[in-house]
Amino acid sequence: MQLLSTGSQYVLTALILIGRRPEGETISATELASMLNSPTAYLSQMLAKLQEPGIIGSKRGANGGVFISKSLSQIRLIDIIIALEGDSFFRRCFLGIDGCGHIEPCPFHDQWTAQRMEIRQWLTGTTLYDLCNDVNDSWISERLHFSRPEVS
């Protein structure tokens, strides 16, 4: 089961790549997209969602690109996920049943509610700094071989 969209997976990997660069250094979305084997416009659109909450900034011009706009330790994973996916993940039924809830729960309702809360706590307590430091170079190398999703 895939919990995050492909776009969010691209962006999280891109943020790790940006976060491992010297503070304030920019990288173009085109370069990131090339590294991730992602369509540039798609990645740019996803990265743009992180500007309003102040997670990344951008600079125009010859040496322009995107950069992390605050300390990595101030950026919680939950802030990234909500900016990219919205908070519907924390309300959505495991089976995708509209109307699933305490009054008419699906067979997975209670278990999934507990699991979602654990995931939310983990995302709240984990920062981009943690992620950048916990990920090893071989994982990054593997992620740089994304296969491009089918676009219809």
CATH number at residue 74: 1.10.10.10
**Residues facing residue 127 across a β-bridge:** 76
Instruction: Assess whether pLDDT exceeds 50 at residue 152.
Output: no
Where in the sequence is the domain holding 97, given as residue range(s)?
6-143
pLDDT, residue 4, reads 82
Between the CA of residue 117 and those of 25, 76, 112, what are the distances in Å? 36, 16, 9
Task: Give the global pTM.
Answer: 0.83
pLDDT, residue 61, reads 82
| Number of domains, the chain | 1
Cα atoms in the 13 Å half-sphere on the side-chain side of 58: 13
User: Domain for residue 86, yes or no?
Assistant: yes
Instruction: Assess whether pLDDT exceeds 60 at residue 151.
Output: no
User: Domain for residue 16, yes or no?
Assistant: yes
Mean pLDDT of all residues in 4-13? 88
Instruction: Assess whether pLDDT exceeds 90 at residue 48.
Output: yes
User: Domain for residue 54, yes or no?
Assistant: yes
